[in-house]
Amino acid sequence: MISSITARAIVYNQYGEPKDEIKCHSYKINLENLKPDDIVVESIACPINPSDINQIQGVYPSKPPLSLTSLPNLNNPAAVTGNEGLFKVIAKGSNVNNFENGDWCIPKNVNFGTWCTHKSALNNEFIKIPKTISINEAATIAVNPSSAYQMLTYFEKLQPGDWFIQNGANSQVGRAAIQIAKKLGLNSLNIVRNRDNINELKNDLISLGATKVITEDDNNSKDFGKTIKSWLNGKEIKLGLNCVGGSSVTGLARKLGHDATLLTYGGMSMKPVILPTSLFIFKNLTAKGFWITGNITRFPNSRLETIEAVIKMMEDGDIVEPSYEETNVKISELTDDKLLEIFVNGLINSKQGKQLIKFE
Amino acid sequence: MISSITARAIVYNQYGEPKDEIKCHSYKINLENLKPDDIVVESIACPINPSDINQIQGVYPSKPPLSLTSLPNLNNPAAVTGNEGLFKVIAKGSNVNNFENGDWCIPKNVNFGTWCTHKSALNNEFIKIPKTISINEAATIAVNPSSAYQMLTYFEKLQPGDWFIQNGANSQVGRAAIQIAKKLGLNSLNIVRNRDNINELKNDLISLGATKVITEDDNNSKDFGKTIKSWLNGKEIKLGLNCVGGSSVTGLARKLGHDATLLTYGGMSMKPVILPTSLFIFKNLTAKGFWITGNITRFPNSRLETIEAVIKMMEDGDIVEPSYEETNVKISELTDDKLLEIFVNGLINSKQGKQLIKFE
């Protein structure tokens, strides 16, 4: 057995444009004589999420401190990038009973620094993940499907047959919400931007379990309201999910019934949340925010409960594997420059599509 | 004792421009042989509120039906105008023990039709009001000070020393909120529109108990945020009251702390509620509506509890008498045309200032 390995991690020393600020830091991890409660993990896969990018930009409210103790042998205060990712255990201390070598795990908390090849940490910083789900599912379970699950179940007590409405329905959260809703027996009214291949997209979302898919033009049209009313057949929509803002959320909110909840979890249009006064006063609308990171402390156990529920749905085939652009990395052939190049390219490509870095 | 009286009421037969649609309807009320549970009341005073006007326009969600049975001897379906007012009992049925002739009372519910000289109704449609408060206070207790009381006490559990912020602070609700907050030991940050006599207005609100008064220009200024921070001295503002909308509510919401509640009870700017996405996601803002009419059914007993609490504050001098433009009416000298003229003028004048019609 080898006694030590070279670990590489993507770090930054100051906030700024992500592709310019990230660096690769390498150091040794000793696999023998571990502290009794520590485990050493090797990366299997990690996504590049918008919140990772916003952290490096310095504009995200939750971020790891820039510290000399983030990793061994740092010359300047640094933070390790990445909040989500799948690891496997490759070594463990003498007290560790909850993990065996080869087990899969994900970080229990955010700000863990997942853009790396290896990490040594306390075993209780991880949640074990069964191998009954795929690598891609496990590596991306903690943010998008978990957000969808909590938004659909933590706020309004929806019953089978009830409706919710969402914009940005083709996002990873939106697609997860469609599938989770179907499993829960809920109807979904899904808003997407118009595009050339709109029917293809509609069919794609319908195949995931969407009840109805409409365009933003439909959402903003007064006439189209009658069509929606006929679909609802007397029911009122009790929950809205907004990741767009601007006129999209105005149109979405107008579809909500009395005493409904509107959850804002993103602002892709870069415009604020604009809501008619009358919806607040006369329809008793409640508008709240949703931030899964905030919920880790706000609802203790929420992360574990949520991940267990989502794993079950993935195992049962209720949620299909999310689609990512994948980059495959051979850890044994890596250099510092090579790992940095992979993540710089990942950041650049993430403007076009969701990126997943897979290690082997 | 006279056996019957002529009752006059302001009614409308269709929705439209209020001053054109209202009419005076007169009929006889027999003061003898009342039904056992009925009382006959005579008007002491009633205000002209924005919601009364919106009802006649047909744009208010809560409104009395146009019906042939709204009053005796109607030729066309009609509704009686007015939702708030003070009455005195002038006759009672044999079963009525909770009222004596001369007692003051206000309607228990909205849509009662208070713009009238007399009314016959079930005694349990009224709440008795002690004569320890003034006529003007009693006639206007159910909407403005009651709204202020509920907004300050029903949503956030504010403790002495806590802050709330409000725009439209010079409105009747705003002035009541300042005084109730002072009684409760709360600090108020009050936003008003700039004007020539701004210092006079500031001093006026300070004399009511306002902690700080700022202008909308201050509210929209980034620099001014530092001044507010120094006032707060480490505290976060937990509650915001909005009756303006547009950029005013955006600026107001930015002053709120984490996990705060924003209550919208009006939209005087005619612009929607515009709130930055980040306040929802990262500061966990909850935006709700406030409608005292909705609360009558939503929180049973709220009307009675609230009125009792507000009466106590009025008796103790914690809330001073609100300022109204008064029109005095001698019931004994009235004709149908005269009563109609009074309310038409009241509607016209209500654009300049709050109107109270007083009967004697």
The helix/strand/coil state of A39 is strand
Other beta carbons within 10 angstroms of residue A334's beta carbon come to 17
In a domain, B345, yes or no: yes
In a domain, A313, yes or no: no
Distance between CA atoms of residues B216 and B190, nearest Å = 10
> For residue A104, which of A43, A37, A34 has the smallest C-alpha distance?
A43
pLDDT score, position A300:
81
Q: Is the pLDDT of residue B19 over 70?
A: yes
Q: Compute the nearest-CA separation of A62 from chain B (Å).
A: 9
Look at B289 and A280 and tell me if their CB atoms are within 8 Å.
Answer: yes
In a domain, B314, yes or no: no
Which residues are paired to B170 by β-bridges?
Answer: none
Look at B289 and A267 and tell me if their CB atoms are within 8 Å.
Answer: no
The answer to whether residues B95 and B153 belong to one domain is no
Mean pLDDT (chain B) is 96
Look at A281 and B289 and tell me if their CB atoms are within 8 Å.
Answer: yes
Look at A289 and B273 and tell me if their CB atoms are within 8 Å.
Answer: no
Give me the mean pLDDT over the B221-225 stretch. Answer: 93
Look at B289 and A298 and tell me if their CB atoms are within 8 Å.
Answer: no
Residue of A nearest to B295 (CA): A284
Q: Sort out which chain A residues have CB atoms less than 8 A from B291's CB and list them.
A: 281-282, 284
Which residues are paired to A264 by β-bridges?
Answer: A242, A289
Band the pLDDT of B154: cuts 50, 70, 90.
very high
The answer to whether residues B172 and B268 belong to one domain is yes
pLDDT in tens, A65-111: 999 999 999 999 999 999 999 999 999 999 999 999 999 999 999 89
Look at B281 and A264 and tell me if their CB atoms are within 8 Å.
Answer: yes
In a domain, B315, yes or no: no
Burial degree of A223 (CB within 10 A; 0-12, 13-18, 19+): exposed
Burial degree of B293 (CB within 10 A; 0-12, 13-18, 19+): buried
Q: Is B241 on the interface with A (CB under 8 A)?
A: no
Four-CA torsion A283, A288, A292, A294, nearest 10 degrees: -150
Which residues are paired to A304 by β-bridges?
Answer: none
Residue of A nearest to B246 (CA): A274
Q: Sort out which chain A residues have CB atoms less than 8 A from B272's CB and list them.
A: 250, 274-277
In a domain, A61, yes or no: yes
Burial degree of B20 (CB within 10 A; 0-12, 13-18, 19+): exposed
Q: Is B1 on the interface with A (CB under 8 A)?
A: no
Q: Compute the nearest-CA separation of B266 from chain A (Å).
A: 7
pLDDT in tens, A289-332: 999 999 988 888 899 999 999 999 999 999 999 999 999 999 99
Cα separations (Å) of A247 from A43, A237, A240?
41, 19, 14
Q: Is A59 on the interface with B (CB under 8 A)?
A: no
Q: Is the pLDDT of residue B287 over 90?
A: yes
Cα separations (Å) of A109 from A82, A301, B306?
11, 11, 45
pLDDT score, position B218:
97
Distance between CA atoms of residues B214 and B219, nearest Å = 7
Q: What is the interface pTM, i.e. ipTM, of the complex?
A: 0.94
In a domain, A115, yes or no: yes
pLDDT in tens, A243-284: 999 999 999 999 999 999 999 999 999 999 999 999 999 999
The answer to whether residues B153 and B261 belong to one domain is yes
Q: Compute the nearest-CA separation of A143 from chain B (Å).
A: 14
The answer to whether residues A119 and A177 belong to one domain is no
Q: Compute the nearest-CA separation of B317 from chain A (Å).
A: 31
Distance between CA atoms of residues A155 and A175, nearest Å = 19
Q: What's the farthest any 2 CA atoms get from each other in chain B?
A: 71
Distance between CA atoms of residues A291 and B275, nearest Å = 16
pLDDT score, position B18:
97
Q: Which of B266, B272, B281 sits opposite A265 (nearest CB)?
A: B281
Q: Is B267 on the interface with A (CB under 8 A)?
A: yes
Q: Sort out which chain A residues have CB atoms less than 8 A from B282's CB and list them.
A: 61, 289, 291, 294
Q: Is the pLDDT of residue B338 over 90?
A: yes
The answer to whether residues A78 and A106 belong to one domain is yes
The helix/strand/coil state of B169 is coil
pLDDT in tens, A14-63: 999 999 999 999 999 999 989 999 999 999 999 999 999 999 999 999 99
A265 is catalytic: no
Q: Compute the nearest-CA separation of A277 from chain B (Å).
A: 5
Beta strands in chain A (DSSP E): 4-12, 22-30, 38-48, 79-80, 86-92, 104-107, 118-122, 126-129, 163-166, 187-192, 212-215, 237-242, 256-264, 273-275, 286-289, 325-329, 355-359
Other beta carbons within 10 angstroms of residue B242's beta carbon come to 30
Question: Domain range holding B166?
Answer: 144-295
pLDDT in tens, A210-245: 999 999 999 999 999 999 999 999 999 999 999 999
The answer to whether residues A135 and A158 belong to one domain is no
Q: Sort out which chain B residues have CB atoms less than 8 A from A265's CB and list them.
A: 281
Asked if B332 and B55 count as a contact pair (C-beta separation under 8 A), the reply is no
Asked if A193 and A215 count as a contact pair (C-beta separation under 8 A), the reply is yes
- Which H or E run includes B127? strand B126-129
Look at A288 and B290 and tell me if their CB atoms are within 8 Å.
Answer: no
The answer to whether residues B131 and B161 belong to one domain is no
Q: Sort out which chain B residues have CB atoms less than 8 A from A285's CB and list them.
A: 287-289
Q: Sort out which chain B residues have CB atoms less than 8 A from A279's CB and list them.
A: 289
Question: Does the CA dihedral B164-B166-B170-B174 come out positive or negative?
Answer: negative
CATH of the domain at B171: 3.40.50.720
Q: Is B203 on the interface with A (CB under 8 A)?
A: no
What string of H, E and C letters represents the secondary structure of B281-323?
HHHCCEEEECCHHHHHHHCCCHHHHHHHHHHHHHHCCCCCCCC
Please work out, in degrees rounded to the nearest 5, the angle formed at the alpha carbon of residue B287 by the alpha carbons of A247 and B62: 85
Give me the mean pLDDT over the B132-159 stretch. Answer: 97
Cα separations (Å) of B192 from B165, B189, B226, B280?
11, 10, 19, 25
Q: Which of A277, A287, A294 sits opposite B267 (nearest CB)?
A: A277
Burial degree of B54 (CB within 10 A; 0-12, 13-18, 19+): middle
The answer to whether residues B124 and B88 belong to one domain is yes
Q: What are phi and psi of B50, to 5 degrees?
A: -55, -35
Q: Sort out which chain A residues have CB atoms less than 8 A from B266's CB and list them.
A: 277, 281
Active-site annotation of B, residues:
60
Q: Which of A266, A287, A290 sits opposite B287 (nearest CB)?
A: A287
pTM: 0.94
> For residue B355, which of B127, B52, B58, B57 has the smallest C-alpha distance?
B52
In a domain, B306, yes or no: no
Which of A12, A60, A265, A324 does the annotation list as catalytic? A60
Look at B277 and A283 and tell me if their CB atoms are within 8 Å.
Answer: no
The answer to whether residues B118 and B150 belong to one domain is no
In a domain, A315, yes or no: no
Question: Does the CA dihedral A138-A143-A145-A151 come out positive or negative?
Answer: positive
Q: Sort out which chain B residues have CB atoms less than 8 A from A280's CB and list them.
A: 264, 273, 287-290
> For residue A284, which of A234, A251, A236, A247 has the smallest C-alpha distance?
A236
pLDDT score, position A243:
98
Look at B282 and A61 and tell me if their CB atoms are within 8 Å.
Answer: yes
Distance between CA atoms of residues B188 and B198, nearest Å = 18
Q: Is the pLDDT of residue B358 over 90?
A: yes
Q: Is the pLDDT of residue B54 over 70?
A: yes
Distance between CA atoms of residues B174 and B167, nearest Å = 8
The answer to whether residues A165 and A194 belong to one domain is yes
Q: Compute the nearest-CA separation of B274 from chain A (Å).
A: 5
For A351, the token pair is 């403007």
pLDDT score, position A1:
62
Tell me the count of A-B CB pairs closer than 8 A.
96
Q: Is A64 on the interface with B (CB under 8 A)?
A: no
Cα separations (Å) of A293 from A51, A110, B76?
10, 7, 61
The answer to whether residues B219 and B283 belong to one domain is yes
The helix/strand/coil state of B58 is coil
Q: Sort out which chain A residues have CB atoms less than 8 A from B277's CB and list them.
A: 245, 264, 266-267, 272-273
Look at A281 and B266 and tell me if their CB atoms are within 8 Å.
Answer: yes
CATH of the domain at A80: 3.90.180.10
For B187, the token pair is 């600090």
pLDDT in tens, B66-106: 999 999 999 999 999 999 999 999 999 999 999 999 999 99
Tally of domains in chain A: 2
Residue of A nearest to B61 (CA): A282
Q: Is B280 on the interface with A (CB under 8 A)?
A: yes
Look at B289 and A282 and tell me if their CB atoms are within 8 Å.
Answer: yes
Q: Sort out which chain B residues have CB atoms less than 8 A from A266's CB and list them.
A: 277, 281
The answer to whether residues B133 and B152 belong to one domain is no
Q: Compute the nearest-CA separation of A91 from chain B (Å).
A: 37
Other beta carbons within 10 angstroms of residue A158's beta carbon come to 18
Q: Sort out which chain A residues have CB atoms less than 8 A from B280's CB and list them.
A: 264, 273, 287-290
> For residue A188, which of A246, A235, A244, A249 has the smallest C-alpha distance?
A235
Q: Is the pLDDT of residue B1 over 80?
A: no
Q: Is A267 on the interface with B (CB under 8 A)?
A: yes
Asked if B269 and B296 count as a contact pair (C-beta separation under 8 A), the reply is no
Look at A272 and B272 and tell me if their CB atoms are within 8 Å.
Answer: no
